[in-house]
Amino acid sequence: MTGPDEAVEALLHEQRQFRPSKEFSDQANATTKTYEDAASDPEAWWAEQARTLEWDTPFTTTLEWDLPHAKWFSDGTLNASVNCIDRHVASGQGDKVAFHWVGEPENDRVTITYADLLVRVSQAAHALESLGVQEGDRVAIYLPMIPEAVVAMLACARIGAPHSVIFGGFSAEALSDRILDADARFVITADGGFRRGEISPLKPAVDEALKKCPDVHHVLVVQRTGQEVSWKEGRDVWWHDIVDSQETTHSPKSFPAEHPLYIMYTSGTTASPKGIFHTTGGYLTHTSTTHRLVFDVKPKTDVCWTAADIGWVTGHSYIVYGPLANGVTSVMYEGTPDAGGRDRWWRIIEEYGVTILYTAPTAIRTFMKWGEEHPQAHDLSSLRLLGSVGEPINPEAWIWYRTHIGSDTCPVVDTWWQTETGGIMITPLPGVTATKPGAAMVPFPGISVDVVDNEGHSVPDGHGGLLVLTRPWPGMLRGIWGDEERFRETYWSRFEGMYFAGDGAKRDEEGDLWLLGRVDDVMNISGHRLSTAEVEHALVGHPSVAEAAVVGASDDTTGQAIVAFVTLKMSGEVAQGDEAGLIQELRNHVGEVISPIAKPRQIILTPDLPKTRSGKIMRRLLRDVAEHRSLGDVTTLTDPAVVSMIDDLMAEHANDDD
Ligand code: WT7
């Protein structure tokens, strides 16, 4: 056996491809005909996929496209929660497991069948209605990874109230911004959650956030940890007090296909996050179809585990809507990968016989660092397919994943998509497409992609450029909540008639696609999307800070890491010894304003920032500095001395990382 390094070398050198095995191909859901059918008439193909859902009123139109607005299946009506639950129960699948839920504390687990889920969602839907939630009302959900998160989402969908799930790691300030932007009048939260063996509070953040949100009528609180919480009579209601006593059946209403299903906030290039909103029929079609074909799902036998948080779009599409629409069994895990040992994931896979694992490169790189002995200690032979999402996967991590987790046989699908796209857009199809370590390969059937130069001209094979989407797709965002102008400006103004994704991409000599990372001021930290402006905004909100410039520097584990260059209001007045204290304070400040995931890896205090003559901060140059690259041309700097000074400061603080 060759070691992993040699194997990587060999593969990279050979530029090896993995061809689908005959065994896999013979059983695969997708075939080459899938591509042909979709290519010959994409709209008809999507309509055929949409018909696998249960419609109360069948649609007669497929696509109305008035750039940048698309409507899919618009005269059809359906209910998302019925498609995810009721129809499976009605077809005799009630006893089938929907979720094997695994809590972070050992032996804290629940198995939920489709019939159980129907009862829980029905009760929650009644409870929301009894609190006054009506069709169209936005409901903010701020929960840990517990079954109630899924139940709350589906209960909202059932009564036509769009949910806005806010990642439990976000701070009170981020929470209030999002509640206000969506004008949500109801919040569903928990007393707290478990994180690395500790209890982390959630309700106090909601209490703090709601000081700024006077229009929130009710807060529904799940008791998860049993910790003390403060209580506002009349506003706060315990979940168990109001949900558990409700009737166990609930008659669902049908909604038009374009009824809003949810809002999900994500970082753009400015300091304020944007509310990406998705509607019902197209989104469900896109998520269920991609789930079925990309993961080759066999509902009778597969156990899917999307190891992501429900607070991000990956969780929405591939823990909740896609898998449930397809009636499959999923694993849902509350905690961190090292809770209870560095083999926690592998124990879960062994115990539940997980067949399909979907995770992010940052997790894979962390497991690589922890060593092969952890997965090797477990029987992972149930796995038959591996997926990757969230950031470019480096070939080394891809091969390690396939070799050490996938026993050298599992196809690895690297899937490119975004909060905005709703579902997977670029990916191999297992059993059909060859795979190459590090490449997302080809557009999903029915999806049209191009790589263009600055003028919007398609680049030839072997060249790089900007990724664009050239036709509407069913899961596409329908807008930015309350901001039509920003919607047009962000995605549709760069190139006429094309959606600008914000990513760089390369088409190799064989025409296969490689994603190269963001080309705008959006950073990708462990698969979490953050804007440089957001972190700068948080930093300048601190009383000591005059100016801040933030860059995403490449990082071996997290993909990118945040490096901040900060000038102080009273520069020169921080004594040597106080500097470390202030830096720590600034990091915590960012953690409090946004989220701990936004804490800069490194903060450099500097008397000045490099700017162009027109006064723009030279971010690209700072990135070179942060990545310890040579500085290149600095002639346009107002003061080249600033750069070498920052460079010296960086060298001095090279070991500050923690
Ligand atoms: C950005 C979208 C997709 C759900 C999770 C992230 C990057 C995503 C890949 C991939 C290279 C990727 C892009 C994209 N990205 N998947 N397979 N290869 N880059 O959703 O938070 O909306 O972020 O993540 O830069 O634009 P998101």
Structural domain boundaries in the chain: 4-505, 526-652
| Helices of type H across 446-489 | 484-487
* Nearest atom of ligand 1 to the alpha carbon of 416: 17
pLDDT tens string 24-72:
999 999 999 999 999 999 999 999 999 999 999 999 999 999 999 999 9
Centroid of chain to Cα 34: 27
pLDDT in tens, 236-258: 999 999 999 999 999 999 999 99
**317, 503, 595, 597: residue to mutate for ligand 1 pocket, most atoms within 8 A of CB:** 503
Cα(203) to centroid of ligand 1, in Å?
A: 30
For 499-530, the pLDDT digits (tens) are 999 999 999 999 999 999 999 889 999 989 99
Q: Do domains 4-505 and 526-652 have the same CATH topology?
A: no
Q: What is the CATH number of domain 4-505?
A: 3.40.50.12780
Cβ partners under 8 Å of residue 12, min gap 6? 395, 437
What atom in ligand 1 is closest to the CA of residue 522? 25
Residues with CB under 6 A from ligand 1: 266, 313-314, 389-392, 414-419, 440, 501-503, 515, 518, 524, 529
> Would you identify the CATH topology of the domain 526-652?
GMP Synthetase; Chain A, domain 3 (3.30.300)
- What is the pLDDT confidence band of residue 8, given thresholds at 50, 70 and 90? low
Collapse the DSSP code of 216 into the 3-class scheme (helix H, G, I; strand E, B; otherwise coil) and give the result. coil
Q: Enter the pTM of the model.
A: 0.92
Residue 93 CA to ligand 1 centre (angstroms): 34
Residue from 320, 515, 521, 560 whose mutation best tests the ligand 1 pocket (most atoms within 8 A of CB): 515
Q: What is the pLDDT of residues 458-506, one digit of tens each?
A: 999 999 999 999 999 999 999 999 999 999 999 999 999 999 999 999 9
Closest C-alpha residue for ligand 1 atom 11: 392
| 308 CA: nearest ligand 1 atom | 5
Output Rg (C-alpha) for the chain, integer angstroms.
25
Measured distance CA(75)–CA(61) in Å, rounded: 7
Q: Which of 297, 289, 362, 349 is nearest to 321 (CA)?
A: 289
Q: Hey, what long-range contacts does 481-489 have (CB within 8 A, 24 or more apart)? A: 481/181, 481/182, 481/263, 481/274, 481/275, 481/276, 481/277, 482/181, 482/275, 483/274, 483/275, 486/268, 486/274, 487/68, 488/68
464 vs 531: CA distance, rounded Å: 24
Hey, how many other C-beta atoms are within 10 angstroms of the C-beta on 571? 13
Mean pLDDT of the residues in the chain = 92
**Test site for ligand 1: of 524, 525, 597, most ligand atoms within 8 A of the Cβ:** 524
User: Which residue's alpha carbon is at the smallest distance from atom 5 of ligand 1?
Assistant: 390
pLDDT > 70: percent of the chain: 93
Look at 346 and 269; give whichever has higher pLDDT. 346
Cα 425 to middle of ligand 1, angstroms? 10
Ligand 1 pocket, mutate which of 165, 416, 525 (most atoms under 8 A from CB): 416
Predicted local confidence at residue 635, as pLDDT? 54
Mean pLDDT confidence for 592-620: 87
